[in-house]
């Protein structure tokens, strides 16, 4: 274990330390200007987080700070964000230590994101200009991460990619004499037949050529009925490979699309509230006459109760929501505090983040569906109907877990990951929580719902997936109601 990772307990407050350095491009070593560099003191080091920008020579210099332990990170558009001390791109950064009246000079090397490039061809292997291409993370459903458009030669280049496996697919396009259906790399029109493409940092994956498949496309257009006169209506078309949205006060229309299953939904905000519509759609012919009937959507009531049925003041809680459709889950939004939530028609997932003194013990809602074998303190799927309320039952006796992480000595600034876990199915139930150990090598999780968890401490991952937790030998623990478990951990280091 590197010596600078380990820190004995420091006595007194250290002050007047200096942190400076430079940032360069990883491949060429050229200085990078306009990079945002951030320092974050670990718990036990006095002071606040700070940011600075590199100058034209790639140099950054922070004003004097308290001596102690810091995490250092850097970011610039077009480059992968970096944490100082990472072993590889998925790893967590390691803390740096600066003594009282001491100085530290760091060199940060920023790698560029990966890219995928190629050509979109017609049936005669001639490039198709102005043809759109999508790049998806290879998940189910696929997650759209980048788009590109071909130039006059049919050449495209998609950028901003983290290392990993991706699916590359053309969009449908209608020409006067015919159309092309969406086509994945290696000439597949079905998702289950698509071949993945690998991307890596500081590398362009070239020659991913796609011969677009000719085929019949169908029109999708219509009107929004009973909408407020002149109001802008947002209409969204979703499928298992993504979603398209448009905002209009006139009849709506999307680009001609391939046969298949879709979801169509719309919403508009008015002075009297939200109006919305939702329609599942099987596209097997032209549909130029669709009619979405906007209806007033009463805000969904929210009830917060304790285990005795008494109301709980939830003004300090955070209620999160995200729309769910065939394309997966959309961006998470924080709903405004109050007794009602403005959710439109369709499928949603909601999750409550209470203050540490509570945990969600039970949940119910309109047409409630647990997400997988979920837990009430995680994401819960509902379909708002304007009548049935969302109900959270909270307990004021959460559990917790705390302890010390040890390597050769106490491990300072070590990430600790805690994942709600299903021991029978050996799978993750929710995304993990993470904390860093303080300057004494100690960690603390609080506000935990009772149940099974996996826990591990390691610098090997910035945010481990379920397989990473398995590889790191995460411990399975049982958190009990109202009890704070003491658990010391050994720092995991891959060999």
Degrees to nearest 5, angle at CA 323 with 320 and 328: 115
Mean pLDDT value of segment 146-154? 98
Question: Quick one: average pLDDT of 33-57?
Answer: 97
- Residues 454, 161: Cα–Cα separation, whole Å: 30
Higher pLDDT pick, 44 / 2: 44
Contact, 194 vs 182, CB < 8 A? no
Lowest mean pLDDT among 199-208, 305-314, 406-415: 406-415
Higher pLDDT, 20 or 375: 20
Least confident of 37-41, 228-232, 393-397, 487-491: 228-232
Closest by CA position to 52, among listed 42, 44, 40: 40
Nearest to 195 by CA among 183, 205, 204: 183
Average pLDDT, the chain: 92
Read off the pLDDT of residues 326-374 as tens digits, 9 standing for 90 and up: 999 999 999 987 788 889 989 999 999 999 899 999 999 998 877 666 7
Q: Alpha-carbon distance 20 to 411, whole Å? A: 24
pLDDT value for 230: 63
Q: Return the pLDDT at 228.
A: 56
Residue 189's Cβ-count burial label (10 Å; 0-12, 13-18, 19+) is middle
Please indicate, yes or no, whether the overall pTM of this predicted structure exceeds 0.85: yes
Q: Is residue 8 very low, low, confident or very high in pLDDT (cuts 50, 70, 90)?
A: very low
Domains of the chain, start order: 3-110 (2.60.40.1120), 114-214 (2.60.40.10), 220-296 (2.60.40), 300-395 (2.60.40), 399-490 (2.60.40.10)
Instruction: Return the pLDDT at 342.
Output: 86
Residue 382 CA to residue 360 CA, distance in Å, equals 16
List, for residues 89-106, the tens digit of each pLDDT value: 999 999 999 998 899 999
Which of 40-44, 332-336, 407-411 is the least confident region? Answer: 407-411
pLDDT given at position 399:
97
Give percent of the chain above pLDDT 70.
95
Q: How much is the pLDDT for 148?
A: 98
* 3-state helix/strand/coil string of the chain: CCHHHECCCCCCCCCCEEEEEEEEECCCCCECCCCEEEEEECCCCCCCCEEEECCCCCEEECCCECCEEEEEEEECCCECCEECCCCCCCCCCCCEEECCCCEEEEEEEECECEEEEEEEECCCCCECCCCEEEEEECCCCCEEEEEEECCCCCEEEEEEECCEEEEEEECCEEECCEEEECCECCCECCHHHCCCEEECCCCEECCCCEECEECCCEEEEEEEECCCCCCCEEEEEEECCEEEEEEECCCEEEEEECCEEEEEEEEEEECCEEEEEEEEEEECCCEEEEEEECEECCCEEEEEEECCCCECCCCCCEEEEEEEECCEECCCEECCCCCEECCCCCEEEEEEECCCCCEEEEEECCCCEECCCCCCCCCEEECCCCCCCEEEEEECCCEEEEEEEECCCEECCCEEEEEEEECCCCEECCCCEEEECCCCCEEEEEEECCEEEEEEEECCCCCCCHHHHHHCCCEEEEECCCCEEECCEECECCC
Q: For 4, list phi and psi in degrees, rounded to 5.
A: -75, -5
Written as six digits, the tokens of 245 are 């949205």
Q: What confidence score (pLDDT) does residue 4 get?
A: 39
- Give the pLDDT score at 12: 37
pLDDT per residue as tens digits for the range 214-261: 999 999 999 987 655 567 899 999 999 999 999 987 789 999 999 999
pLDDT of residue 158: 98
According to the per-residue pLDDT averaged within each range, which of 115-119, 248-252, 264-268 is highest? 115-119
Place of tokens 């990079």: 35
Each residue's pLDDT tens digit, 197-212: 999 999 999 999 999 9
**Per-residue pLDDT band at 121 (split at 50, 70, 90):** very high
User: In angstroms, rounded to a whole number, what is the distance separating the alpha carbons of residues 90 and 459?
Assistant: 9
| Polymer length in residues for the chain | 495
* Count of CB atoms situated within 10 Å of the CB of 126: 11
In terms of DSSP bridges, do strands 484-486 and 399-406 run parallel, antiparallel, or are they unpaired?
A: parallel
Averaged over 459-478, what is the pLDDT? Answer: 95
Inter-residue contact 96 to 412 (CB < 8 Å):
no
With beta carbons less than 8 A apart as the criterion, state whether 466 and 427 touch: yes
CB 116 within 8 A of CB 135: yes
Q: What is the structure's pLDDT at 177? A: 85
Confidence of residue 433 (pLDDT cuts 50, 70, 90): very high
Q: What is the pLDDT of residue 226?
A: 60
- Residue 3 phi, psi dihedral angles, 5° rounding: -65, -35
Greater pLDDT, 196 or 2: 196
Identify whether the C-beta of residue 449 lies closer than 8 Å to the C-beta of residue 398: yes
Query: pLDDT category, 14, cuts 50, 70, 90?
Result: very low
Is there a cis peptide before residue 141, judged by omega within 30 degrees of 0?
yes
């Amino acid at each position: 274990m590197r010596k600078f990772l380990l820190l004995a307990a420091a006595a007194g407050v250290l002050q007047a330390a200096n942190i400076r350095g430079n940032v360069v491009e990883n491949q060429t070593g050229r200085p990078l200007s306009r990079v945002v560099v951030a320092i974050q003191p670990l718990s036990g080091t006095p002071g606040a987080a700070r940011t600075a920008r590199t100058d034209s020579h790639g140099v950054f210099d922070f004003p004097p700070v308290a001596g102690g332990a810091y995490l250092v990170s850097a970011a610039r558009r077009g480059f992968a964000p970096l944490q100082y001390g990472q072993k590889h791109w998925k790893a967590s950064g390691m803390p740096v230590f600066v003594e009282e009246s001491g100085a530290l000079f760091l060199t940060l090397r920023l790698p560029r994101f990966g890219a995928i490039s190629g050509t979109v061809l017609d049936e005669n292997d001639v490039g198709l200009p102005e043809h759109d291409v999508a790049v998806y993370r290879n998940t189910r459903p696929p997650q759209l991460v980048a788009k590109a458009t071909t130039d006059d030669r049919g050449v495209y280049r998609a950028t901003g990619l983290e290392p990993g496996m991706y699916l590359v697919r053309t969009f449908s396009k209608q020409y006067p004499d015919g159309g092309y259906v969406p086509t994945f790399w290696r000439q597949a029109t079905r998702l289950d037949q698509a071949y993945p493409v690998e991307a890596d940092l500081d590398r362009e994956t070239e020659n991913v050529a796609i011969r677009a498949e000719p085929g019949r496309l169908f029109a999708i257009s219509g009107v929004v009925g009973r909408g407020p006169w002149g109001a802008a209506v947002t209409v969204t078309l979703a499928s298992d490979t993504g979603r398209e949205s448009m905002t209009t006060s006139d009849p709506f229309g999307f680009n001609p699309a391939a046969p298949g299953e879709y979801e169509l939904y719309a919403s508009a905000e008015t002075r009297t509230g939200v109006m919305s519509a939702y329609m599942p759609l099987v596209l097997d012919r032209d549909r130029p006459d669709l009619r979405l009937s906007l209806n007033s959507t009463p805000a969904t009531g929210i009830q917060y109760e304790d285990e005795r049925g008494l109301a709980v003041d939830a003004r300090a809680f955070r209620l999160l929501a995200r729309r769910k459709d065939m394309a997966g889950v959309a961006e998470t939004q924080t709903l405004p505090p109050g007794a009602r939530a403005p959710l439109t028609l369709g499928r949603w997932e909601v999750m409550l983040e209470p203050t540490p003194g509570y945990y969600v013990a039970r949940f119910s809602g309109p047409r409630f569906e647990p997400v997988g074998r979920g837990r009430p303190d995680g994401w819960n799927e509902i379909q708002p109907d304007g009548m049935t309320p969302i109900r959270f039952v909270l307990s004021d006796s959460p559990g917790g877990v705390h302890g010390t992480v040890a390597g050769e000595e106490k491990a300072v600034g070590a990430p600790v990951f805690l994942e709600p876990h299903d021991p029978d199915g050996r799978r993750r139930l929710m995304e993990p929580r993470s904390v860093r150990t303080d300057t004494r090598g100690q960690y603390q999780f609080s506000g935990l719902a009772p149940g099974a968890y996996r826990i591990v401490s390691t610098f090997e991952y910035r945010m481990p997936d379920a397989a990473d937790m398995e590889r790191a030998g995460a411990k399975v623990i049982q958190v009990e109601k109202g009890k704070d478990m003491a658990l010391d951990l050994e720092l995991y280091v891959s060999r």
